[in-house]
Structure 1
Amino acid sequence: MRLRSDIWIAAYLRRCGVEGAPAYLRRRGAAEAGTIFVKIDRLDGQAALFGPAPPSEVDDGVRLFTRLHKEEWLDPGAIEARLKREIDFDVDLWIVEVEDRLGRNFLDLADAS
């Protein structure tokens, strides 16, 4: 059984804070099972977007994430356009933004191999 989205978000925001990376809830989604997107802003004109890993990558109910673009970093405007498309598709999604000059994401990532 997977942790509710609202509980996962609360824990993630706390984790980011403990690591010294300000994190903000930009959009509140469905508490029980809303899809979560995490934007990492390096504050230098570069950002990355992470979203749920494909179901085939999920194991034991652990919430895994994957980078949603091929490039390591993108212009924040490109990420905002992607988020707008995602909102148009799913109004119950969550958006968290992390500001970290080192680009750390603090997420459990699906195996990229």
Structure 2
Amino acid sequence: MLEVHDCFTISGMLSLEAIGMADHGKAAAYILDGNTRADGTCPTNMTGGLCGFGHPTGATGVRQVADLVLQLTGQAGDCQVKFTDKKPYAMSCNMGGNDKTVASFVMQAS
């Protein structure tokens, strides 16, 4: 499962391409094919992302990691995705400073 920085729609798509989930120039098709849905190959931004949930500038990475902790501990409510032994990981990819700074966290469900 992923939480990517999508303060603008294109930012989320570029993030999916940059981390290798979608081929270059193919993020829109990757999303439209259902890959980022809760039941897709890689659920992404289950709370609606920064555009849908809110963009707490300066704290977006913290909010994304908090969302992942809720997911990994089964406390995400209506947004909960199912983790399996084959896919026990969650990743946050956050950008800042005109995208000059990137912070990522990879965590595993216990």
- What TM-score results when the alignment is normalised by the length of structure 1? 0.31
Q: Which has the higher contact order (CA 8 A, sep 6+)?
A: 1
More helix by share: 2
- What TM-score results when the alignment is normalised by the length of structure 2? 0.31
